[in-house]
Amino acid sequence: MSNRMRMSGINSGMDTQSIVEQLVQAKSTKKEKIKKEQTKLSWKQDAWKSLNSKLYSLYSDKFGALKMQGSFKVKKASIVDSSIASVSADGSAVNGTQTLAVKQLAKTAYMTGGKLAKAATGETVIGNYLSADDRNKWFTDGTTTTVEKKDENGDVILDDENNPVTEEIETYQPIKYIVKDASGKSTAVVAIGYDMTMEQIAEQFSNAGFNASFDSNTNRFFISSKKDGEAGNFTLTDENGNDVLNGTDAPVNDDSVNGSGLSTYERSRAVLESLGLTAQAAGNGFIKGQNAVIELNNVEYESNTNTFQINGLNITATKESDYTSSVDGEGNEVRTYSTTNISTATDVDGAYKMIKDFLKEYNEIINEMDKLYNAKPNKDYQPLTSEEKDAMSDEEVEEWETKIKDSLLSRDDNLRTLISTFKEGMAAAYTTSSGKTYSLASFGINTLSYFEAADNEKGAYHIDGDPDDEKTKGNDDKLKAMLSNNLDDTMDFFNSLAKDIYGKLGGLMTRSDYRSFKSLYDDKALQTEYDNLGKDLKEEEQYLSDYEDKWYDKFAAMEKAMEKVNSKQNALAGLFGTG
């Protein structure tokens, strides 16, 4: 409507604003009709969006899975002694029974450091544990360096003459350790210095490729390999290549320091021992990495983890099998491990559930589409105006609008095409690779009789023998029997049915001038219609605004004329003294 300011009825005394509003209201019928049409179209778009989302889920998930042969070749595996391993199987696993023994579990190389008698996070390490004599024995000669003394803010401290105050700091060279992997290859260097904190030492190991931390609650270092099994084994050597972690190498005493007679090996090992980080340190735990070993059908397999993938079987070892020990002719121990059985079979129950779940979702959607398509048109019900809503309760408004929304897709062309596509595909017969022809009825899957099925549920399918279906649970379960006795034909039939309907739905979802990709209705056409109604609404609003302005202009001209008449009458009255 026009937003011009009005001042009217001053001379005539008429309520021109009310008169104009009534005239405009009388002309607003077309505008209200357009608004109602646009509202109904918006509701129709929402109804299609909701239905399209459900249809696409059925298309991509259920039909998509049903058309794949692998969906029917699901295998299930079970193990008699579940304490030693858990098992599962994929489609390539061979049906039958196999024997299993777990001979060895995988371990990750792990060191739990010895408990330190005196440790405080953030305090210097060697300074906490060593006497001055040990410090001088284990580290090289200190170097004295003169530096400017600074306050807690990092500013240089000045004396009375504004000269920097200096102090002498003694520094020591760190002891370096060479990290070697399971193959003996050097991979990193760890340097431990006299002035390092616990966190800094742990960081040195972390930077060298370990999982490392220092726990201030237990006063221990925890260091482990990032590689599983034997591949994660490691050692630490001094700079001369002597093993200082395990202490298995003979010390080399040819590089003494300060006349102490201690070799690099002895100094390097002494520092590790002070930190509880040698294999023999008191109170620590050192676990060597090892691979898992199992025996399946008398054939041995090895893995750096406890998980094995063998010919479609997935085996996770959890405990070593019991064994009996004997001695061979050469005096060597021979272990005979007890075995347990693994059984593998086609998962008939899984395939049955897949078909049942598919039919459940299909039935829900076909019933919904039948209900929407068969709904009685409610032409007498139109969207309410704001004034009409104000005159009704919220429940009455909701009931009114529900009647409109339930009939929006009545006899809809797009919906009719979809219903036909589904019902024709589900009712068709398909020939399998064996040359036999089947329909859903061949598997005991049928719709109910016309009089037995409820309204708008005549296209729903029921499985004979389904314990969850009150209508058919007393019938023989043909589907389960076919899955158990003739899986190939059952698989071929459902693959063909799914591919047929899947392909037709894919064709309907092709992008065109009327619909978008993945849309099963003419969404573009509906949006164009909605936009055109929006244009019509703007044009009608402009027409009403102009119509309103026209009447206000007419009344304004009348008021101006009356003002002139009144002015002349007042002048005459003044002239004759009757004013």
Q: What is the 3-state secondary structure (H, E, C) of 279-293?
A: CCCCCCEEECCECEE
What local confidence, expressed as pLDDT, does residue 262 receive? 72
- With a cut of 80, say whether residue 546 has pLDDT above it: no
Q: What is the signed CA dihedral for 469, 474, 475, 478, rounded to 10 degrees?
A: 60
Q: Which residues pair with 180 in a beta bridge?
A: 186, 235
Under a CB-based contact definition with an 8 Å cutoff, are residues 418 and 520 in contact?
yes
Tell me which of 14-18, 26-30, 123-127 is least confident: 123-127
Tokens of 409: 């897709």
pLDDT band at residue 48 using 50, 70 and 90 as cut-offs: very high
What local confidence, expressed as pLDDT, does residue 517 receive? 93
Which DSSP symbol is given to 569?
H
Q: Which positions ≥6 away from 198 have C-beta within 8 Å? A: 119, 121, 122, 125, 214, 216, 221
Nearest-angstrom CA–CA distance, 45 and 377: 17
Q: Which positions ≥6 away from 118 have C-beta within 8 Å? A: 128, 129
Taking alpha carbons only, the member of 288, 284, 258 closest to residue 273 is 284
Average pLDDT over residues 498-521: 94
Classify 387 as helix, strand or coil. Answer: helix
- With a cut of 80, say whether residue 204 has pLDDT above it: yes
Under a CB-based contact definition with an 8 Å cutoff, are residues 203 and 228 in contact?
no
Residue 198's identity, in one-letter code, is M
Q: Crossing angle for the helix pair 394-405 and 29-57, nearest 10 degrees? A: 70
Average pLDDT over residues 103-126: 79
Q: How many CB atoms lie within 10 A of CB 364?
A: 13
If one compares 203 and 263, the residue with the highest pLDDT of the two is: 203
Tell me which of 59-73, 239-253, 312-326 is least confident: 239-253
pLDDT above 90 coverage of the chain, percent = 59
Taking alpha carbons only, the member of 276, 257, 254 closest to residue 267 is 257
Taking alpha carbons only, the member of 419, 412, 404 closest to residue 55 is 419
What local confidence, expressed as pLDDT, does residue 539 receive? 85
What local confidence, expressed as pLDDT, does residue 164 receive? 85
Q: How many CB atoms lie within 10 A of CB 372?
A: 22
- With a cut of 70, say whether residue 255 has pLDDT above it: no
Nearest-angstrom CA–CA distance, 555 and 562: 10
What local confidence, expressed as pLDDT, does residue 165 receive? 84
Tokens of 495: 């693959």
Average pLDDT over residues 134-143: 69
Average pLDDT over residues 364-386: 92
pLDDT band at residue 494 using 50, 70 and 90 as cut-offs: very high
Mean pLDDT for all residues in the chain: 87
What local confidence, expressed as pLDDT, does residue 166 receive? 85
Nearest-angstrom CA–CA distance, 449 and 169: 99
Q: How many CB atoms lie within 10 A of CB 152?
A: 5
Residues counted in the chain: 579
Model's pTM, two decimal places? 0.67
Q: How many CB atoms lie within 10 A of CB 443?
A: 22
What local confidence, expressed as pLDDT, does residue 2 receive? 52
Tell me which of 144-148, 275-279, 427-431, 440-444 is least confident: 144-148
Average pLDDT over residues 416-438: 97
Tokens of 467: 């314990």
Classify 220 as helix, strand or coil. Answer: strand
Nearest-angstrom CA–CA distance, 78 and 508: 44
- With a cut of 90, say whether residue 427 has pLDDT above it: yes
Nearest-angstrom CA–CA distance, 128 and 20: 97
pLDDT band at residue 260 using 50, 70 and 90 as cut-offs: low
Nearest-angstrom CA–CA distance, 39 and 244: 83
pLDDT band at residue 27 using 50, 70 and 90 as cut-offs: confident
End-to-end Cα, the chain, rounded Å: 43
Tell me which of 50-59, 181-190, 274-283 is least confident: 274-283
Average pLDDT over residues 405-409: 93
